[in-house]
Amino acid sequence: MSDKTIFKKIVDKEIPADVVYEDDLCLAFRDVAPQAPVHVLVIPKTTSLRSLDDVTADAQSLIGHIFVVIQKLARELGIAESGYRVVSNCGENACQTVAHLHFHLLGGRGFAWPPG
């Protein structure tokens, strides 16, 4: 039986996703249950990082790259001017449900603070 996460299956094109950006290091696709008019997940392709808690100094350039991609996507998806939120749920208390590092890019509406 496969122990791949759903996100690894999306990276490997085993299941479909609405991909908005892809390069050698990362993939961005629309969330299947969007919480805002724009809700994109940006993930590294590597499976070595299950959450932010796995990130070490070795991953600095990868994480920096992902944030440059997030900024580019925010501009392309038309939410840069109005503002957007980037979220990475890490662990049980933060409601992380997929054990593959991912960043939610949310925009197109106003958000409350603090989050629930």
Query: Which residues of this chain interact with ligand 5GP, rule CB under 6 A?
Result: 6, 17, 29, 31-33, 41, 89, 95-98
Tokens of 104: 């939610």
Containing H/E element for 60? helix 60-76
Closest to ligand 5GP by CB, 32 vs 61, is 32
SS (H, E, C) 61-95: HHHHHHHHHHHHHHHHCCCCCCCEEEECCCCHHHC
- Quote the tokens at residue 25: 């290091």
Active site residues: 102
Would you say 25 or 99 has its CB closer to ligand 5GP? 99
Between 95 and 112, name the residue whose CB sits nearer to ligand 5GP.
95
On whether the CB atoms of residues 88 and 41 are closer than 8 A, the answer is no
DSSP summary character for residue 17 = -
Q: How far is the CB of 9 from ligand 5GP (least distance, A)?
A: 8
